């Protein structure tokens, strides 16, 4: 991080550089992938046709490049809603308009296998951060254009995938129904896995609800695809490869880039199948 900062505390930046992500206007593309783990940014950027390292500070590591002719960036959010909201707030200020969360998750439906991809359409808001933006009754929904692009990418790449609602939690352990240290438990979370399963929720992760809620409030496009690395019903967990989800996200960005060009040429604000 740049030392000797002096800034307005209400909007912390110095010479256009955002305080946490250490990026400025021109550093990021309109289309941004959001993994949680900073270490995954290198893997993601390595799959592009062109790439350049931009910045790394705290949990936020950024690359920008080109994939399939489409401009693309990746910025890691760190784990959970609070750090995700910081990254998104600052990325919006320097020109990002479309975000895809790319991560891992635990699934709570028996038929979903570890290694399957989950495209999330909406989120149960147990993340904590989104309630700092709007009341809990406000929905956390993904953008339809991004979701359709992710589904099309899964189909083109012949991936095994599922589409549905996630539950974003503010805690990996107790928040997802796991016992805490020394078996700590509370009645309000002991049944969360079964309650969410009955509600046809597909998976647990920690960031989508924050991203989707902010997208609805601010008017940007958001989506989410995760690799299942655990099944809480069958009690299996292993390190599934992230590469299939990376391929899906890269192709989805290419699809969105091409559709956005057609939408502008048609004089429309949003894409529909009639545009082609």
Query: Which residue would you say has higher pLDDT here, 88 or 5?
Result: 88
List 90, 145, 205, 207, catalytic entry:
90
Provide the mean pLDDT of the chain.
Answer: 95
* pLDDT for residue 5: 61
In a domain, 3, yes or no: no
* pLDDT for residue 11: 75
Mean pLDDT over residues 38-49, rounded? 97
CATH number for position 70:
3.40.50.1580
> What are the pLDDT digits (tens) for 52-110?
999 999 999 999 999 999 999 999 999 999 999 999 999 999 999 999 999 999 999 99
Q: Which residues are CB-contacts of 51 (< 8 A; sequence separation ≥ 6)?
A: 45, 63, 64, 65, 66
Structure tokens at 270: 């949003």
Mean pLDDT over residues 13-35, rounded? 94
Rg (CA), the chain: 18
In a domain, 275, yes or no: no
Q: What does the angle CA 133 – CA 138 – CA 139 come to, to the nearest 5 degrees?
A: 115
Mean pLDDT over residues 13-28, rounded? 92
Mean pLDDT over residues 221-250, rounded? 96
> What are the pLDDT digits (tens) for 177-215?
999 999 999 999 999 999 999 999 999 999 999 999 999
In a domain, 240, yes or no: yes
Q: Rounded to a whole number, what is the distance in angstroms from the first to the last CA of the chain?
A: 45
In a domain, 10, yes or no: no
- Known catalytic residue: 232? yes
pLDDT of 245 > 60? The answer is yes
Assign 4 a pLDDT band (cuts: 50, 70, 90): low
Assign 2 a pLDDT band (cuts: 50, 70, 90): low
Assign 16 a pLDDT band (cuts: 50, 70, 90): confident
- Known catalytic residue: 20? yes
Assign 24 a pLDDT band (cuts: 50, 70, 90): very high
C-beta of residue 104 within 8 angstroms of C-beta of residue 146: no
List 40, 51, 232, 259, catalytic entry:
232
pLDDT of 1 > 90? The answer is no
Q: Give pTM, 2 decimals.
A: 0.95
In a domain, 9, yes or no: no
> What are the pLDDT digits (tens) for 101-136?
999 999 999 999 999 999 999 999 999 999 999 999
In a domain, 270, yes or no: no
In a domain, 272, yes or no: no
* pLDDT for residue 71: 98
* pLDDT for residue 3: 57
Count how many domains the chain has. 1
> What are the pLDDT digits (tens) for 139-163?
999 999 999 999 999 999 999 999 9
One-character DSSP codes across the chain = --SS----TTS-EETTEETTT---TTSS-SEEEE-S-THHHHHHHHTSSEEEEEEEETTEEEEEEEETTEEEEEE---SSHHHHHHHHHHHHHTT--EEEEEEEEEE-STTPPTT-EEEEEEEEEESSSGGGTS-TTS-EE--HHHHHHHHHHHHHTT--EEEEEEEEES-SSGGGT---GGG---HHHHTHHHHHHHTT--EEESSHHHHHHHHHHHT-EEEEEEEEEEETTTTEE----SHHHHHHHHHHHHHHHHHHHHHHHTT-SS--TTT-
Range of the domain at 96: 17-263
* pLDDT for residue 6: 62
In a domain, 273, yes or no: no
């Amino acid at each position: 991080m740049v030392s000797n900062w002096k800034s307005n505390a209400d909007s912390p930046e110095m010479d256009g550089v955002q305080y946490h992500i250490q990026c400025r206007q021109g550093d990021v593309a309109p289309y941004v992938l959001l993994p949680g783990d900073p270490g995954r940014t290198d893997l993601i950027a390595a799959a592009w046709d062109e790439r350049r390292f931009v910045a790394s500070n705290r949990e936020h590591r950024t690359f920008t490049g080109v994939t399939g002719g489409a401009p693309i960036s990746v910025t890691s959010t760190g784990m959970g809603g609070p750090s995700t909201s910081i990254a998104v707030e600052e990325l919006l200020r320097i020109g990002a308009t479309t975000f895809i969360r790319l991560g891992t998750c635990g699934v709570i439906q028996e038929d979903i296998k570890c290694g399957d991809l989950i495209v999330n359409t909406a989120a149960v808001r147990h993340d904590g951060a989104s309630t700092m933006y709007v009341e809990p009754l406000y929905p956390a929904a993904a953008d339809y254009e991004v979701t359709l692009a992710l589904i099309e990418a899964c189909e083109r790449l012949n991936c095994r995938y599922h589409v549905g609602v996630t539950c974003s939690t503010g805690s990996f352990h107790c928040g997802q129904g796991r016992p805490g240290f020394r078996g700590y438990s509370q009645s309000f979370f002991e049944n969360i896995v079964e309650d969410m399963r009955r509600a046809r929720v597909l998976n647990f992760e920690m960031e989508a609800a924050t991203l989707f809620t902010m997208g609805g409030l601010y008017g940007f496009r958001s989506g989410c695809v995760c690799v299942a690395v655990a099944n809480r019903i069958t009690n299996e967990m292993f390190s599934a490869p992230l590469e299939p989800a990376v391929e899906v996200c890269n192709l989805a960005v290419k699809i969105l880039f091409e559709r956005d060009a057609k939408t502008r040429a048609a004089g429309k604000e949003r894409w529909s199948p009639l545009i082609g």
